[in-house]
Amino acid sequence: MTDLEWTLDKADGTWKRDLWGPEMFTAQVHRLGSGHLDISLCTVFTASLAPEELEKRMAHAWRIVRDRFPQLVVRIVNEPKADNENYNRLHYDQASAATSAEQTFVVHRANGDDEAFRKYHSEITSKPCGPISLHLFRTSSQRHAVYLYAPHTLVDIEALLHVFNRLFEAMATPVEELETDPTQRLPPPVPIALLPSAPSGDIPAFIGSQLGPIPELMPGTPKLQLSGPLGNGSCYPTRRQFDEAQSAKILAKLKQLGLSIAHAQDAGAQLAIAEQEGVTGGKSVNYPVSVGVRRFFKPDLQTEYVAWGIGGLQLTFDLGSVDSKAREEKFLDLMRQVQPQYQAALKDATIATSQHPANLALGADKGLPPLAPPSAHVVSSVGRLDDMLRPDLYAPIIKIEDVHEAQRHGIMAVPTFHTWTLNGRLTIQMSVSEPLAPIVDQVLDRYESLLHSLAD
């Protein structure tokens, strides 16, 4: 069992702790010298703050975030042991981290049209490498953009989204409340990916009064840049959208069956992948991987937004010689198989940390076998954005492409499914890296036809 508590080495003033699952994977990537893992997040927003006040608040928020999440600025240090020459630990130097906060917050003042935002985003993400940095693209109007560029990051995408959210949350804190005593700014005792967001009554008021309307994504620009050991690349989403009438029929049929769109997605995605790969029978498409319940939604609606490693559903199917109609009936059967497993998982959200894809990829979790071929590994999520947002979490988090930890590791090259309803319209999405692009249309077409069959 690793020690996830940060301890202070009084000899050199450095905080240290052991690695956990995803960090172990990343450490191995660095150690093998086969590449680096980069993420960049961005959103366009409006703010009624005066430009100078916006800069001041953002700089202040960035200092708070960096103090709160040392994982953003830690180093991987190899500390070989007699029985393990690849033993690595995290080192965090508070003094250097504090001085670099100002150096890594960059303000750019320029035109605020979408083309300028896209061009600047491209410039940032095309840089070779550098420290994690925050870029505020400030304009003369009330429309601005913010970019969080995290090369060589040790945090997964969900944790980084959490950091992004805390960044805006910290903008609501008066600058004079910033803690100045470095001895009081201790690192967190557990990985930030495990920390739930703490609701605050001040945040909704700040977001509503200062940031203005819901931020919009920059049209046509990928918001999550991925690069990994197999080379630079990006995750591009392909979508299908149903009209309101068809969406209503599908959702009504699911409700009548006592099922949800979450069940439909996992069963439909697995069936579509199985058919594409020519699988005619068996248990699941691949070895069981992970299940995780997103924590930044209303608790009473948790069952409507769940992320899964498809293989973890343990579905039994036989597609042998059945025709298309029979397979649609099998679709209903698979959804019924999914249902109790959702209920079981929702009772224990910690499964995501003990059966994390990165843990399994390393064989680090109780000697479990490695993942199946990446083409069969599917991660999915569903959401109902109409009414699911908690008051203290808002558009930038949801509008950014939500990609699971396994997708971030380019070495796995896994497809990612997302399904959501917004303004009464159902949308399905499949995101893949370049090598898997040829299968997107076929799989999405089949998944779409399965959903249509519910409304017939």
Q: Do residues 22 and 93 touch, judged by C-beta distance below 8 A?
A: no
**Total of domains in the chain:** 2
- Let me know whether 299 and 400 are in one domain: yes
Query: Residue 157 CA to chain centroid, in angstroms?
Result: 4
Top pLDDT among 383 and 221 is at 383
Where residue 336 falls among pLDDT bands split at 50, 70, 90?
A: confident
pLDDT value at 59 more than 70: yes
- Strands ordered across the beta sheet of 425-432: 236-241, 425-432, 416-422, 379-384, 306-309, 291-293
- Let me know whether 315 and 451 are in one domain: yes
Where residue 451 falls among pLDDT bands split at 50, 70, 90?
A: very high
Where residue 33 falls among pLDDT bands split at 50, 70, 90?
A: very low
Query: What is the share, in percent, of the chain residues with pLDDT greater than 90?
Result: 1
Q: Do residues 151 and 130 touch, judged by C-beta distance below 8 A?
A: yes
pLDDT value at 335 more than 50: yes
How far apart are alpha carbons 372 and 375 in whole angstroms? Answer: 8
Q: What is the pLDDT of residue 418?
A: 65
Q: What is the pLDDT of residue 225?
A: 33
Residues 377-383 have a mean pLDDT of 38
Residues 223-241 have a mean pLDDT of 46
By mean pLDDT, which of 109-123, 257-271, 329-343, 362-376 is the weakest?
Answer: 362-376
Q: What is the pLDDT of residue 403?
A: 33
Q: What is the pLDDT of residue 421?
A: 65
Quote the domain boundaries for residue 62. Answer: 7-228
By mean pLDDT, which of 2-6, 132-136, 345-349 is the weakest?
Answer: 345-349
Residues 236-251 have a mean pLDDT of 83
Say if 171 falls within a structural domain. Answer: yes
Q: Do residues 270 and 310 touch, judged by C-beta distance below 8 A?
A: yes
How far apart are alpha carbons 441 and 431 in whole angstroms? Answer: 11
**Which residue type does 290 have?**
S
- Let me know whether 450 and 357 are in one domain: yes
Residues 405-417 have a mean pLDDT of 42
Domain boundary among 228, 262, 292: 228
Where residue 261 falls among pLDDT bands split at 50, 70, 90?
A: confident
Q: Encode pLDDT of 184-210 as tens digits.
A: 454 554 444 433 333 344 433 433 333
Where residue 246 falls among pLDDT bands split at 50, 70, 90?
A: very high
CATH number of residue 118's parent domain: 3.30.559.10
Diameter over CA atoms, the chain: 71
Say if 193 falls within a structural domain. Answer: yes
Domain boundary among 228, 247, 271: 228
Q: Do residues 188 and 69 touch, judged by C-beta distance below 8 A?
A: yes
pTM: 0.46
Say if 2 falls within a structural domain. Answer: no
Q: Which two tokens stand for residue 157?
A: 């995408």
Helix axes 51-68, 157-170, angle to 10 degrees: 130
Q: Encode pLDDT of 123-143 as tens digits.
A: 776 665 566 788 888 887 777
Domain boundary among 197, 228, 259: 228
Q: What is the pLDDT of residue 161?
A: 59
Q: What is the pLDDT of residue 17?
A: 81
* Cα angle for residues 110, 116, 118 (degrees, 5° grid): 135
CATH number of residue 437's parent domain: 3.30.559.30
pLDDT value at 384 more than 60: no
Say if 246 falls within a structural domain. Answer: yes
Q: What is the pLDDT of residue 241?
A: 85
Q: What is the pLDDT of residue 205?
A: 41
- Let me know whether 201 and 281 are in one domain: no
Q: Which two tokens stand for residue 23?
A: 């960090």
> Which residue shows structure tokens 């988090």?
397
How far apart are alpha carbons 223 and 121 in whole angstroms? Answer: 9
Q: Where are the alpha helices (DSSP H) in 363-439?
A: 395-399, 405-408
Q: What is the pLDDT of residue 284?
A: 34
**Which residue type does 203 have?**
I
- Let me know whether 378 and 420 are in one domain: yes
Residues 6+ apart with CB under 8 A from 157: 39, 224, 402, 403, 404, 405, 407, 408
User: What single string gives the DSSP state of each residue in 30-57?
Assistant: HHHTS---EEEEEEEEE--S-HHHHHHH
Q: Which two tokens stand for residue 55?
A: 């800069």
Top pLDDT among 51 and 281 is at 51
Which candidate, 359, 408, 349, places its Cα nearest to that of 158?
408
Say if 1 falls within a structural domain. Answer: no
Strands 425-432 and 316-318, by their bridges, are unpaired
pLDDT value at 320 more than 60: no
pLDDT value at 378 more than 70: no
How far apart are alpha carbons 76 and 31 in whole angstroms? Answer: 9
Q: What is the pLDDT of residue 417?
A: 66
Q: State how far the alpha carbon of 23 is from the alpha carbons of 33, 120, 132, in Å.
A: 15, 30, 16
- Let me know whether 217 and 245 are in one domain: no
- In the chain, the N- to C-terminal Cα span, in Å, equals 53
> Chain-wide mean pLDDT for the chain?
59
Q: What is the pLDDT of residue 455?
A: 84
Q: What is the pLDDT of residue 129?
A: 54
Say if 23 falls within a structural domain. Answer: yes
pLDDT value at 11 more than 60: yes
